Amino acid sequence: MRIVREPLLQFLCIALILFTVNRLVNGPEKYSASQQITISSGQVEQISEQYRLLAGRAPGEQELRALVDDFIDEEIAYREAIALGLDTDDTIVRRRMRQKLEFLVRDQQSYNDPSDEELSIWLAAHATNYHQTERISFRHVLASHDKRGEHAQKDAHSFRQALEAGAEFEALGDTSMLPPSLSLSTQDNIASLFGDAFAKAVFAAQNNEWSAPIQSAYGYHLILITERIPSRPSTLNEIRETLKADWMAAKKQEARNKYLENLRQRYTVNVEWPAKHSSEQ
Amino acid sequence: MAIWMKVLLMSACTTALIACGNKTSKQTVKTATEQAKQETPHEKIAQNPLRNAYFGDLHIHTQNSYDAYLFSVRSTPDEAYEFAKGGKIKHPMGYDMQLHSGPLDFLAVADHAEYLGVLEAMNTPGTEYSKVSYAKDMNPGDRAGIFKAFGYFVESLLTGEIIPELSSTAAPRSAWQETIESAERHNNPGTFTTFIAYEFTSLPRVRNLHRNVIFANGNVPDLPYSALDSQNPEDLWHWLDAQRAKGNDALAIPHNANGSDGTMFERTMWNGKPIDQAYAKLRSRNEPLIEISQIKGQSETMPLLSPNDEFAGFELMTSYIGAAKQITKFEGGYARDALKRGIEIEQKTGTNPYNFGFISSSDGHTSAGPFEEDNYFAKVGILDGTPKRRGSVYPAKYKNWDEYYEDRENPPLSSTWGSAGLSGVWAESNTRQSLFAAMRRKETFGTTGPRIRVRMFGGYDLPEISLATDAGVSSAYANGVAMGGSLIRQAGKTPEFVVIASRDVKSAPLQRIQIIKGWVDAKGQSHEKIYDIACSDNGVIQSDSNRCEDNGASVNLNTCEFSKDKGDAELEARWKDPAFDHTQNAFYYVRVLENPSCRWSTWDAIRANVEPNPKLAKTIQERAYTSPIWLLANRDK
């Protein structure tokens, strides 16, 4: 992709855009005034190729003649329609010309793979987007509300006393479909199983000691955090591919916005808003 | 942390899990693998032999679907995957959509194969498609324009005849390629699974025979087989057989049997003759699952088919798909009835065409599924993207619902649709291979949106076990069959079932577990009966009705708050059929019901500070359905 950095190519691309814009803005009178139509051999080849792409085979000689003939009819009709000004008040035509222009810009922009240096700068500037979230491993002992009703909280307290007195945690509490322990989970992982408030409380708990009872939709839990990996920035090596994709997408978007902005600067825009702007039903 | 350290840590975790087995293996695997997802090669992903419940959606549409495009949807498969992974994407009406309950575990983008990607191409200057005279109508932006644009396609979709000027395969090829590449890009074994998929949109005489085709892995054909190739599902199954022979394994999942006017599960084949063995085998080989609920209602059963089921009147769609025309034939359009037909046909021919399991999905057309009642954005883009457009809030020109209904008889179609369903899959790991194998063996369940987890096992002489422990689950696998399996009938022996269900902490608590039994009598006639087998709040099952006593759960319709002190977080039961007859073919499946909670339309109304629409249910009981377990004659011996 080194070639796109060539000044000559860049110049040609810009020239192509200016040429197109000029044609769109200043009108094609000159073009349509001429009664001369020449279909170059390049155009014939293009017509033939389009057919091949669509039909899966090259057109026969008769077919090609018919296709070229159709193209000539289209060209004549197009010039006549332009001469009559049919393009100026047609929403569809206007919308498509805009699309075409935008495609032109989009396709024209293309980039080399970013260097590690460029990616490092990008990562530093957007570090918060690429944080590795905090993860914890924990065990829990459940005093089930289903099974113990209003005694659940009190029972959880007595489990805690038992644990402090050296009881084995496996022997305590109620079984459930919940996993008795989770390893290296994010707050979101835990919230989807145990609920938001519980997940928040677990992350706020101290490491390596059984917590006071924490409530969830299941009852009261004592939890023991066995491992905690704090939130930290990602390194370039960990997320190079993601960064690359994001960098490219951002560059394309940036170029497009800049181009459209530059275009707008050439116009004085004046909107005469109606007195009251009606909103949706 | 260095890669080798992570790998070491991973294997240490894995070893620990296996070693501790009993107390630590459940669920932990899923989160452990997330940590090491980028560094761990596929084969290193930890497997939980006791299986985890994974939740996902096998039915989402993007702008590549012709209809979604007309609904102003301009989001791509990439965006559908972003949404499923917990990201924020735009609704066509400009607002953000994001899951409140966190990311899904898997997603299949299943766009309509018919005219796949064609509308985008019609709207792209320079394409052959854009030269079609009505191409300019393909970007309608309002209701009238949408219906006008649909007009160009209706005839083709109802007859299966392709529109000649849109018959080029250029756009479908390119959109199919995009579908494949996007799925491959977002597939992240161990963390998030994607399936390459499409919808076969057969709609003969407006009777819905739609299927989603889900591919097992990255081996897929160059183009989908669509209803424009044939509307006859039997042709699709033959094509699937041929693909499988080439190494492109897939299965088809019918949806909206409720909109088929009795044609989804017929007693006859396409040619009108009674179902024979070859048909039954062909069908059950290719369609092990059906979608039991989605936005356009549930297809479990309805009150006219199951008059003794007081929970059957739930999210019913009794009209043809996308039309006001009413269904007249319900037999053959619902799963429970089809399961009964299946065992009747089995009794006659020895093979069951309808021995399917259940999943649920969304059928969302905005690249996003509205699974949550309080986070609802409906189905069809700009047609129902706001409460006023979906009939949950009356337009400003009316003062109340009475005035609104003076102008019209029926509520708008979208208002009768429910929120999206979710598929639950019991699998060893969150990978294509593991999830697809679970779908094949039907160890799956469907929910109406909440992430209710439910397991069911059946067997003879099951030891006294609790499915709340790993030892219990392990013993259940060793001594019985899981949901989706079959038991052989034996003289003098009565099977037992063990069931456990756990609530979604972000939805309502559980109210009850039910077992639904279907069986065939000596005359070949089938019957159904419902047994409550576990009640919340220490409720007692009434012996005359087989129902739990009312737990008194209620909902405050001004705030949508539900009773805090009613319902259970978890229910478990062991059950023996009191009327078991070892000479009868039978099936048993589980239905779990939540306490009542607000329907999406009530949430809409409360937020707009108006009365909820009187023609719609104000509350619903969300639910989960497991695949059945069958009791069959031993025909091999």
- Nearest residue, CB atoms, A146 vs list B13, B386, B569: B569
B482 found inside a domain = no
**Alpha carbon distance B334, B630 (integer Å):** 18
pLDDT at A241: 81
B24 pLDDT exceeds 60?
Answer: no
- Assess contact for B609 and B465: CB atoms under 8 A: no
Co-location of B206 and B312 in the same domain: yes
The residue out of B422, B447, B474 marking a domain boundary is B422
DSSP B415-437: GG--PPPEEEEEESSSSHHHHHH
Q: For an interface test with B, which of A75, A102, A183, A186 has the most B Cβ atoms less than 10 Å from its Cβ?
A: A183
B101 found inside a domain = yes
Count the neighbouring beta carbons within 10 Å of the beta carbon of residue B550.
10
Whether B24 sits inside 8 A of A176 (CB atoms) is no
What is the number of domains present in chain B? 2
Co-location of B89 and B234 in the same domain: yes
B322 found inside a domain = yes
B203 pLDDT exceeds 80?
Answer: yes
Co-location of B104 and B25 in the same domain: no
Co-location of B140 and B206 in the same domain: yes
**pTM listed for this prediction:** 0.81
pLDDT at A12: 62
Rg for chain A (alpha carbons), in Å?
Answer: 34
Co-location of B107 and B91 in the same domain: yes
Length of chain A: 281
pLDDT at B14: 38
Count A/B contacts: CB-CB distance under 8 Å: 100
- Nearest residue, CB atoms, B570 vs list A177, A183, A189: A177
Confidence of residue B247 (pLDDT cuts 50, 70, 90): very high
Co-location of B31 and B107 in the same domain: no
| Chain B (384-413) residues lying within 8 Å, Cβ to Cβ, of chain A | 386, 388-389, 395-396
B81 found inside a domain = yes
Percent of chain B surpassing pLDDT 70: 93
Return all residues near A180 (Cβ < 8 A) that are at least 6 apart: A139, A140, A170, B23, B24, B26
Q: What is the ipTM of this complex?
A: 0.83
Length of chain B: 637
Co-location of B286 and B179 in the same domain: yes
- Assess contact for B574 and B621: CB atoms under 8 A: no
Which residues on chain A are in Cβ contact (under 8 Å) with B386? 280
**Alpha carbon distance A189, B63 (integer Å):** 31
DSSP state of B164: G
pLDDT at B38: 40
Whether B570 sits inside 8 A of A146 (CB atoms) is yes
Return all residues near B494 (Cβ < 8 A) that are at least 6 apart: B460, B576, B577, B580, B582
Whether B23 sits inside 8 A of A170 (CB atoms) is yes
Exposure on the CB side of residue B393, measured as CA atoms within 13 A: 18
DSSP state of B271: T
Which residues on chain A are in Cβ contact (under 8 Å) with B32? 183-184
Which residues on chain B are in Cβ contact (under 8 Å) with A193? 27, 505
Percent of chain B surpassing pLDDT 90: 89
pLDDT at A96: 74
Q: What is the mean pLDDT of chain B?
A: 92
Co-location of B139 and B9 in the same domain: no
B564 found inside a domain = no
B634 pLDDT exceeds 80?
Answer: no
B488 pLDDT exceeds 70?
Answer: yes
A160 contacts chain B (CB < 8 A): no
pLDDT at A280: 44
B159 found inside a domain = yes
**Alpha carbon distance B591, B547 (integer Å):** 13
Return all residues near B623 (Cβ < 8 A) that are at least 6 apart: B311, B314, B447, B448, B452, B591, B592, B593, B594
B510 found inside a domain = no
The residue out of B361, B391, B422 marking a domain boundary is B422
Interval B339-380: pLDDT, tens: 999 999 999 999 999 999 999 999 999 999 999 999 999 999
pLDDT at A110: 60
| Chain B (493-522) residues lying within 8 Å, Cβ to Cβ, of chain A | 500, 502-503, 505-506, 509
| Domain coordinates in residue numbering, chain A | 2-110, 113-124+238-274, 134-230
Co-location of B40 and B120 in the same domain: no
pLDDT at B15: 36
pLDDT at A6: 59
Interval B394-438: pLDDT, tens: 999 999 999 999 998 888 889 999 999 999 999 999 999 999 999
Amino acid code (one letter) for B303: P
Q: Going residue by residue through chain A (281 aa), what tens digit of pLDDT does each one get? A: 455 555 555 666 666 666 666 666 555 544 444 678 888 888 888 888 888 877 778 888 888 998 998 888 888 888 888 888 887 777 777 877 777 777 666 655 566 788 999 999 999 999 888 888 899 999 999 999 999 999 999 999 999 999 999 999 988 999 999 998 998 899 988 999 999 999 999 999 999 899 999 999 999 999 999 999 999 988 998 888 888 888 887 887 787 788 878 888 888 878 787 776 544 44
Range of the domain at B235: 54-422
* In the block, residue with structure tokens 């992570």: B6
B553 found inside a domain = no
Whether A177 sits inside 8 A of B24 (CB atoms) is no
Co-location of B32 and B99 in the same domain: no
Co-location of B146 and B285 in the same domain: yes
- Alpha-carbon gap: A165 to the closest alpha carbon of chain B (Å): 22
Q: Which position has the higher pLDDT, A235 or B594?
A: B594
Assigned CATH class of A134-230: alpha beta
**Alpha carbon distance A127, B109 (integer Å):** 31
Co-location of B114 and B240 in the same domain: yes
The residue out of B374, B391, B422 marking a domain boundary is B422
Whether A176 sits inside 8 A of B13 (CB atoms) is no
